[in-house]
Amino acid sequence: MRTTFADVARQFDAFMIDQFGVLLDGNGAYPQASETLAALAQAGKQVVLLSNSGKRAGPNEARLTKLGFDRASYRTVMSSGEAAFANIAARIGHDIAPQAAVWVHARDGDMSSVDGLALTLVGNTDRAEILIIAGSRADTFELEQYRSWLTPAAKRNVPAFCTNPDMEMLTSDGKRFGAGAIARLYEDLGGRVEWVGKPFPLIYIMAYDVLGQPDRARVLCIGDSPAHDIAGGQRAGFATALVRTGLHADLSDSQLMAHCTATAVPDFIIPSFTLMEP
C-alpha cells in the first residue's frame, strides 16, 4: 500500500487532486508541488483540482497562479463553491425563490458564491431565507460566536448550504475548525444543512464530466483526509491515494492506519505529492 507517487502515477491517466494538504499548506505551496503538477500535464495526464474551498474556481485559480502553479497544468479547480454555485443557480425559480435573502459567511470577504445570482445579500441571519456557509473565520472568532449568529435562523428552520465540508483547516497558526464544523453546529441547533463538496457526490460528478468521463479504473483521487478525500473518492468509484502531508502529517504510521480503518482505507499511501524519489 505504501509506495512513491512516481510508481502510482504510471498506473493512471487522470487525477482528481486536493489543494490543501497536497499542493498547499497554511503558508503556501509544498516543495515540488508545482513541478509535479506540470510534469503530469507534460506526460499527457488529465488533472482536475478537487477542493473543498467555498470559493469558486476563479479565486482558487488566481491563488494558485500567484503561488507559482502553471494554469496550463490542470483543467480547472472544481471547488465545492463552484459546484454549489451551479446547483443553486439551477434551482432559483424552482425551490429557491428569486431574490431570496441570503446570508453568506466566507473568508477574505469572498462573495463569489453568489455573484451574479438572483439573490439578495443580507448582513445577518435574522432576515435570511438561505444561509451559505462557505468558509470559517476561526482565526478571528470562536465557535461559540457562531452559535449566537446561527441560532435565530435555526429557530426559523432556514435552510443552509455548507460549501466547504472540511471540519478542520490548515492555517499559518496550525489547525483550526473549518466551515464544516460551523455547519455541524447549525445542525445541532436544529437547522437544515445541504452539504456540497467532498465526500458528497455532486462535486465528483462534475469533476468527472470535466475530465471527459474516462475509464473510472484509470482515475486516481489524491488527498490528505481519509474522511473527505478517500471516502469520497471510493464512493464515486475511483482509486484513492492518501498523502502523508497535510492534516494528519503529525500521526505515526500506526495512528494513521487506525484513523483510516475507522473512516476509509486508501488504495495507496504516498509520502508527498512529488515524482522525485525519496
Note the pLDDT tens digit of each residue in 64-123: 999 999 999 999 999 999 999 999 999 999 999 999 999 999 988 889 999 999 999 999
Pair 159, 230 in one domain: no
Q: What is the tally of structural domains in the chain?
A: 2
State which residues form the domain around 241: 5-52+199-270
The pLDDT tens digits of the residues spanning 20-40 come to 999 999 789 999 999 999 999
130 and 97 housed in the same domain: yes
The 10s digit of each residue's pLDDT in 35-54 is 999 999 999 999 999 999 99
Is 248 domain-assigned? yes
Task: Show the cell assigned to 125.
Answer: 441571519
- pLDDT given at position 26: 79
Q: Which of 165, 195, 225 is the last residue of a domain?
A: 195
* 4, HSE (Cβ side, Cα atoms, 13 Å): 9
Q: Are residues 126 and 187 in the same domain?
A: yes
Which of 130, 160, 195 lies at the terminal end of a domain, its last residue?
195
- Considering the domain architecture, whether residues 217 and 178 belong to the same structural domain is answered as no
Measured CA distances, 182 to 104, 134, 137, 161, 272 (Å): 13, 10, 10, 11, 30
Tens-digit pLDDT profile for residues 194-246: 999 999 999 999 999 999 999 999 999 999 999 999 999 999 999 999 999 98
CATH number at residue 218: 3.40.50.1000
Strands 239-243 and 268-270: parallel
150 pLDDT above the threshold of 60: yes
Predicted TM-score (pTM) of this structure: 0.90
DSSP-derived letter for residue 30 is: P
Closest CA to 96 of 106, 84, 105, 107: 84
Q: Is residue 78 part of a domain?
A: no
Residue 65 domain flag: no
Residues 43 and 129 in one domain: no
pLDDT over 90 for what percent of the chain? 88
Neighbours of 126 (CB within 10 A): 13
Residues of the chain with pLDDT > 70, as a percent, come to 99
Same domain, 142 and 155: yes
Sequence-ordered list of residues with C-beta below 8 angstroms from that of 267, at least 6 positions apart, any chain: 1, 239, 240, 241
Say yes or no: 206 and 184 in one domain.
Answer: no
pLDDT for res 1: 66
One domain for residues 184 and 204: no
**Location of C-alpha cell 483547516:** 169
Place of cell 505515526: 252
Query: 156, 178, 195: which is the final residue of a domain?
Result: 195
Q: Are residues 179 and 130 in the same domain?
A: yes
Same domain, 188 and 226: no
Averaged pLDDT for residues 110-138: 94
